[in-house]
Structure 1
């Protein structure tokens, strides 16, 4: 989180709690959500977002490994990865950041025998984002599920069946929770072999840039 976000008690930088800001935030969240769903690499999509919104002088996504966490793959995950009960599956949890902004937290289960030794070394020994480490596989994604965790406007706001929330403090900052939306996806090689399942929880750091000026 940036100092600007921290200054507002955890809110993304400078977003006021008013109707226009809520509409802008809704549009931005829907845009990045759709961009990721349509992409073959969430990492590269996040880098483009970071660059487009001037969130870093060098828009590069880095992964901060969360070591010491173990989550075994479920029977359903093994079925989606097309492996038996005895096939080794590794687990990796990272926080993806760009320019100091936390963009997402990702849980990743992958089949090491379907990656090259060089890819496995990168994943074991470095903070390289998973998407970048496996780029030589020319991977693509198939989304299992996508769900919204927070919206700045309630359902049916556009039909006036639900009121827009009143600001908690007139003229105050919009209170944006940490998690915005979540994706579950399976990654495949260019030869259509599944090799990884990922659960990505996208964070309010995606909005940590100055809003457009009022018109």
Structure 2
């Protein structure tokens, strides 16, 4: 017979899961791939991520983001805001600022017209990912609500030869701890 798990043990478990996920995100090259693996490991019913676009949420890049890109004359930056969803759970909210001229036309079409996550769309570029910032947004309790914002990661994606093409800010929610 299963013994009930007490609150301190559940809280330690939730904190441990957040620590594991954070470590993977800080060292991995694709948040999309990490989240898809995470969902499969945790037994989510459908480990295939969807990027639900949030239209009308356009945010111009900040000066620091534009500086990272070292834009050539005529290059522009686009913004794409999505909720990354796995099954019934919103795992994260992602703001991607990217340089369309540094992606293929097919990649740009996919980003404009599909629910395919950014990391899967640009996977053929073999991107590298450099974390710029990690912020904890709240203390993780025993059972964080699925919509509770847990932490934010800011990162820069570049081609293997170091050409940056995307700045991303990802906010992760309690939904990542569900099964």
- Taking structure 1 as the reference length, the TM-score comes to 0.77
Structure 2 residue aligned with 1:181? 151
1:99 equivalent in structure 2 = 87
The 4+ residue runs of structure 1 with deviation greater than 4 A are none
How do 1:124-163 and structure 2 match up within 5 A?
A: 124-152=112-140
Give me the TM-score of the superposition, normalised by structure 2.
0.91
Equivalence for 1:203: 173
**More strand per residue: 1 or 2?**
2
The residue that corresponds to 1:193 in the other structure is 163
CA contact (8 A) 1:92 1:108 kept: yes
Residue 34 of structure 1 is aligned with which of 16, 23, 27?
23
CA RMSD of aligned residues (A): 1.9
Task: Please tell me whether residue 51 in structure 1 is matched to residue 40 in structure 2.
Answer: yes
Q: 1:175 to 1:36 in 2, by over 3 A?
A: closer
Which has more radius of gyration? 1
**Runs of 5+ unmatched residues, structure 1:** 1-15, 154-172, 210-215
Paired residue for 1:70?
58
Query: Do the aligned partners of 1:102 and 1:205 also contact (CA within 8 Å) in 2?
Result: yes
Provide the aligned length of Structure 1 versus Structure 2: 175
Specify every segment of 5 or more residues in structure 2 that has no aligned partner in the other structure, as ranges. Answer: none
